[in-house]
Structure 1
């Protein structure tokens, strides 16, 4: 099989519309790369550039060390699965899966073998005689996936293939996809706006915003070490708490509490602080002695007033209003076990110092930890 390389890829429609800006990345054999980001960030355009459905304004696409930028879409041996199933309604499952092979004039016995092997892999062997109108949404998506798998392509491209499925079915098919592509040797590029899909399916995740690659890394590293404020806020549910704080010397002010800044740089007048809701807890009674300073060896204590509680089933999401000097106000969300209780609206929260994320207030880039 072959690796996929994108080298300084650009796509410009007009001076104000540049969906892809100087993108360079490599997807190895048997690697599952997910492109994730908000609507309009360039994800689907990148897929169209890889497939040959669009030509880049500048840059190069290579498959297996061979440049294919000027090769037509039909000659790239790329399989693409779209958001819509795009099945032929008058054909049964077998003929839908075999359609691309027939166009390539592969012999009948090999077509039969490939379709039957793929149908078994996808659990479709008993549905080969049915037409799409008699299939469920999940079964139709499997047929669309099967049509791609039978081709034995050099590269798989998937453009939000689960977005038309309901939540329960999406979870089931997502698990199936992970197992199916673990057995494939070709590079897989998957596009989604759903960060859960990105985190659970991928070998690596490419986070995009405004056509620019923000971070490319393994899912755990994307989550634990976001490269900038955008990645920190986009990846994770519930969303990371993010604040712009004033600084006094080597401390940042959160409400009336002074939090030590990371070392190694001149203290700025402002800095951005982030902490995930799951790293915020209710201060224990043994910690109350530290409340006068707001700081212990491994956590920071802040006081606030609860104004919203959201029951998420296994946990409660608390929104807490923290007041500071000069009428400053910050909302901190804490994700707590559903069995945990608290007294009244006033609450003291504990923020784990080793889970704090710091970012430049102007550039948004990560600047280290305490």
Structure 2
């Protein structure tokens, strides 16, 4: 068992190209950490720094309290699963899985035992004599996972392993990965830009942007209490409504409507209101503080419609609110009354983007 720690990890290529900026985090035994962010945010570079495929400009990588920053990749006792699977096309499934053990000159009987165990866990017993070209994408992915499992490493690293699979296969393999690594009891670091993978697989998530960790938290806290505007807008599908509003007194103005502000030391001139579409409700007769608007776009999501509403406003700039409504109701160009529950609203600083006040009641739809 080995804890993984990154201490002030930095990678600088040029003064203007810094993909990793002083990242510090830890992953305990049995924890599944996902590095989540858009392309170019530094998540794959962090993975390569952990693996030893790149050297940090400064900072340390520790595995089980052992500083491995200057240690060769082969001596770090890690296993890595690549996006491209990286299987040897001329070798059988058995030989692909056993390749790393053979390089370490593991006794042949032990190799057979470990390969058999991994094949049984991943359902590969009937494929052992096939070559990668004779298998589907999902089967090749399981072979790559098996090759990592037999290593019995101190840390597992996975670099977007599902990105080459179709949607249905990705769901199935994602479920397999969750069960598989829950039983390993070692740190797992998983890289993806897919928030669904991050939310469903992880015990904690690090959201990155431009080399910085924006928030490191449990998935439900990332979703319900985003630390800033970037996290709020990146995590969640459909995306959170983020509206820049002017403030007067103790209210923010949404078009011609007033939304009460929470208590804060000083009221800013402008503020960013955030609310997830699933928390925007259709108004009932008894509701107050109703927001009126007109629907201009309807998107069928299967279980719900996603509607985009232009809010009544005396200003030239259009204010658009997106809401999820039941599939039984059909909307097209109609006027609509909406309610934005105060307990579901997030407030962010316009200048810094940081959260100013957290919602008093977290969403239950995670």
Which category of TM-score, normalised to the shorter sequence, fits these structures?
over 0.9
* Pairwise CA distance, 1:341: 4.5
CA distance in 2, matches of 1:105, 1:13: 37
C-alpha deviations, 1:12-67, integer Å up to 9, x for none? 00001000001000000010000000100000000000000000001000000010
1:334 and 2:319 aligned: no
CA change 1:344–1:90 in 2 (3 A) is: closer
C-alpha deviations, 1:296-321, integer Å up to 9, x for none? xxxxx211110000011111000001
CA distance in 2, matches of 1:343, 1:89: 54
CA distance in 2, matches of 1:317, 1:342: 10
Match of 1:310 in 2: 299
1:69 and 2:74 aligned: no
1:243-258 superposed matches below 5 A: 243-258=243-258
* Pairwise CA distance, 1:286: 2.9
Match of 2:363 in 1: none
CA change 1:369–1:151 in 2 (3 A) is: closer
* Pairwise CA distance, 1:285: 2.6
CA distance in 2, matches of 1:109, 1:265: 70
* Pairwise CA distance, 1:264: 2.5
* Pairwise CA distance, 1:344: 5.6
Match of 1:298 in 2: none
1:270 and 2:267 aligned: no
Could you say what secondary structure the match of 2:16 adopts?
coil
CA change 1:54–1:344 in 2 (3 A) is: closer
Residues 255 and 315, structure 2, Cα contact 8 Å, conserved in 1: no
CA change 1:337–1:27 in 2 (3 A) is: same
CA distance in 1, matches of 2:339, 2:329: 14
1:23-34 superposed matches below 5 A: 23-34=23-34
CA distance in 2, matches of 1:320, 1:343: 10
Match of 1:179 in 2: 179
Give structure 1 stretches of 5+ with no counterpart. 296-300
Could you say what secondary structure the match of 1:49 adopts?
helix
CA distance in 2, matches of 1:240, 1:225: 12
Residues 61 and 68, structure 2, Cα contact 8 Å, conserved in 1: yes
* Pairwise CA distance, 1:324: 1.8
1:75-154 superposed matches below 5 A: 75-154=75-154
* Pairwise CA distance, 1:328: 3.5
C-alpha deviations, 1:227-262, integer Å up to 9, x for none? 000000000000000011001011100011111112
1:3-42 superposed matches below 5 A: 3-42=3-42
1:184-263 superposed matches below 5 A: 184-263=184-263
C-alpha deviations, 1:334-357, integer Å up to 9, x for none? 011211345861111111110000
C-alpha RMSD of the superposition:
1.1
Could you say what secondary structure the match of 2:343 adopts?
helix
Could you say what secondary structure the match of 2:148 adopts?
helix
CA distance in 2, matches of 1:196, 1:353: 27
* Pairwise CA distance, 1:265: 2.0
CA distance in 1, matches of 2:224, 2:213: 18
Q: Aligned pairs, how many?
A: 359
Match of 2:170 in 1: 170
Residues 42 and 211, structure 1, Cα contact 8 Å, conserved in 2: yes
* Pairwise CA distance, 1:97: 0.1
CA distance in 2, matches of 1:162, 1:344: 40
* Pairwise CA distance, 1:132: 0.8
Residues 296 and 332, structure 2, Cα contact 8 Å, conserved in 1: no
Residues 255 and 328, structure 1, Cα contact 8 Å, conserved in 2: no
C-alpha deviations, 1:192-218, integer Å up to 9, x for none? 000000000000000000000000000
C-alpha deviations, 1:176-203, integer Å up to 9, x for none? 0000000001100000000000000000
